[in-house]
Structure 1
Amino acid sequence: MFDWNRSCSYDEQHKRRFHMTARSRLKKLAAELALPPGSYDLRSNKAGIAVSGEITLHHDRAYIQVGQFGMSSGHGILIRTCKSRTDYTGGANHFVSLDMLDDVTALAAAVHAITGIGRNKTLSSDRRAA
């Protein structure tokens, strides 16, 4: 498991792994949410030496950004609605733990609950059982 809470500040090698691993997990999140190819962008901004930078999945209706900006609170994934991929302010900010990157299914459920995008696997499972 990746140590999401180990600071990337002044550690270029760890920052590189942080970005690579977060990007990979966001790709898995896009697949878990069944986002069609071309309906989202995946960007990485390494920023300066003293910060983690951020990795962003920007969908037509959701903005999800990973970074170590909430280290003291334990939060590092920003989730909010948006109106397009040119909307960088969007709806209200919601934060979840960086550790959710280790459970992409749970992260997808959180994204779905906040933004409404993706499939609701719980609902689908309940319908099949009925």
Structure 2
Amino acid sequence: MFDWNKSCSYDDAQKRRFHATARSRLKKLAAELHLPTGSYDIRSNRAGIAVSGEVTLHHDGAYIQVGQFALTSHHGILIRSCKGRRDYTGGRNHFLDLDKLDDIPALAAAVHAITGVGQVGQSEPSVRAA
């Protein structure tokens, strides 16, 4: 299990693992939500040495960003609605704990509840985080 709360600050190896794992989980989230190919981008901003940077899934109707925004609060997943992939401000911000990346079906349900994006509860097998 990945330690989402281990700081990436001044630890390049941890930052590399953080970004790779977050990208992988966001790909699984897109699959769990049944987002059509081409309706979203996943991008990574490593930022400076003292911070985690962020990994973003930007869909036509949802903006989901993962980062170590405040390690003391553990709130590292930002979810908000948006109007297209040029909308970087979107709707109201909602924050979830980073450990939600270990439960993709629950994260997908939260994204759907907040943004209305995607389909949840389908009969297809669900993608679980390793």
Q: TM-score, normalised by structure 2?
A: 0.92
Residue in 2 that maps onto 1:63: 63
CA shift, 1:120, in A, is: 3.0
2:72 is matched with which residue? 72
Is there any run of 5+ residues in structure 1 with no aligned partner, and where? 126-130
1:71 Cα deviation (Å)? Answer: 1.3
Tell me the distance in 2 between the aligned counterparts of 1:51 and 1:78: 16
Q: How many residues align?
A: 123
Q: Which has the larger radius of gyration?
A: 1
What is residue 53 of structure 1 aligned with on the other side?
A: 53
**Residue identity matched to 2:64:** I
Runs of 4+ more than 3 Å apart: none
Paired residues of 2:82 and 2:90 also in contact (CA < 8 A): yes
Q: How far 1:72 moved relative to its partner? A: 1.3
Deviations 1:14-35 (A, max 9, x none): 0000000000000000000000
Q: TM-score, normalised by structure 1?
A: 0.92
CA RMSD of aligned residues (A): 0.9
- Equivalent position of 2:127 in the other structure: none
1:24 aligns to what?
24
Could you tell me which amino acid in structure 1 is paired with residue 28 of structure 2? Answer: K
Higher helix share: 1
